[in-house]
Structure 1
Amino acid sequence: MKTLLLTALMFCTLQNIKAQKLKKMENNQQSRAAITEVLENHYFKGIYEGDISKLSPIYYNGTLLFGDIKGQPYAKILEQYLDGVAHRQSPKDSGKPFKGEIVDIRVINSIAVAEVKVKMYEFNYHEFLSFHQIDGKWLIVNKMISDVNE
C-alpha cells in the first residue's frame, strides 16, 4: 500500500513538473515570437525607412546606446539616436542594400537579449539589444552596437 501511494505521489509530481516546463516553453516561444515581431516590423523597417514613428514606440524612454563605429566610441541617449535617424538619408531612399537579420533571441521571464546584424551603407553592425517586458510589451532598454568587418 505504501509503495502504491509513493508511486502515485511521484507520478503526480512528475506530471506537474512536465506541465510547468511545457508552460514555460510555451511562454518562451510566445515571447520570442513577440520580440521577433518587434524586430522585423518595427526595428528593421524603422531603420530602413528612417521612420522614427516605427522606432520610438519600441524603445524605453531611458534607453542608452553604446558601442564602437569604425573603431571610434559610440555613446548616445535615445533622443540623440532618433534625431540622427530622422535627419539622415534613409537606406530606403539611398537605394543602397539593407539587410536586418536576427541571429538569436534569449528570453528569461521578463527579460531578453536579441543578437542582430544590420548591414547598411558601408557598415556591418553587430548588435545586442536588451529587452524588458513592460506593461505587456517588449521594449528595447539598451542597445550595444559594433561595426565589424565581414
Structure 2
Amino acid sequence: MKTLLLTALMFCTLQNIKAQNLKKMESNQQSRAAITEVLEQHYFKGIYEGDVNSLSKIYYSGTLLFGDVKGQPYAKTLEQYLDGVANRQSPKDSGKPFKGEIIDIRVINSIAVAEVKVKMYDFNYHELLSFHQIDGKWLIVNKMISDIAQ
C-alpha cells in the first residue's frame, strides 16, 4: 500500500514539474516573440527611419548607452542618443545600406538580453540590449555597442 501511495505521489509530482516546465517554455517563447517584435517593428525600423517617437516608446526613460565607436569610448544618456537620432540624416534618407539582424535573445523571467547587429552608414555595430518587462511591456533598459570591423 505504501509503495502504491509513494508511486502515485511521485507520478503527480513529476506531472506537475513537467507542466511547470512547459508553462515556463511557453512563457519564454512568448517573451522571445514579443522582444523580436520590439526589435523588428520598432528598434530597427526606428533607427532606419530616424523615428525618435517610435524609439522612445521602447526605451526605459533612464536607459544608458555605452560602448565604443571607431575605437573611441561611447557613453550617452537616452536623451542624448535620441537627440542625435533626431538631428542626423536617417539611414533611409541617406540611401546607404541598412541591415538589422537578431543574433540571439535570452529570457530569464522578466529580464532578457538581445544580441543584435546593425549595419548603417559606414558602421557595423554589434550590440547587447538589456530588456526588462515593465507593466507588461518589454523595454530596453541598457544598450552596449561596439563598432566592429567587417
The alignment's C-alpha RMSD in Å is 0.4
3-state secondary structure, aligned to 1:128 = strand
Alpha-carbon separation, structure 2, partners of 1:137 and 1:27: 14
Q: Is 1:130–2:130 an aligned residue pair?
A: yes
3-state secondary structure, aligned to 2:149 = coil
TM-score (norm 1): 0.99
Alpha-carbon separation, structure 2, partners of 1:7 and 1:76: 59
TM-score (norm 2): 0.99
Q: Which residue of 1 aligns with 2:13?
A: 13
Shift of 1:30: 0.4
Alpha-carbon separation, structure 1, partners of 2:111 and 2:74: 24
Aligned-pair identity in percent equals 89
Alpha-carbon separation, structure 2, partners of 1:8 and 1:51: 59
Alpha-carbon separation, structure 2, partners of 1:7 and 1:79: 60
Alpha-carbon separation, structure 2, partners of 1:51 and 1:7: 60
Shift of 1:2: 1.0
Alpha-carbon separation, structure 1, partners of 2:52 and 2:13: 50
Shift of 1:74: 0.2
Structure 1 unaligned residues grouped into runs of 5+: none
Alpha-carbon separation, structure 2, partners of 1:29 and 1:112: 12
Q: Which residue of 2 aligns with 1:113?
A: 113
Q: How many positions carry a matched residue from both structures?
A: 150
3-state secondary structure, aligned to 1:88 = coil
Alpha-carbon separation, structure 2, partners of 1:149 and 1:18: 45
Structure 2 unaligned residues grouped into runs of 5+: none
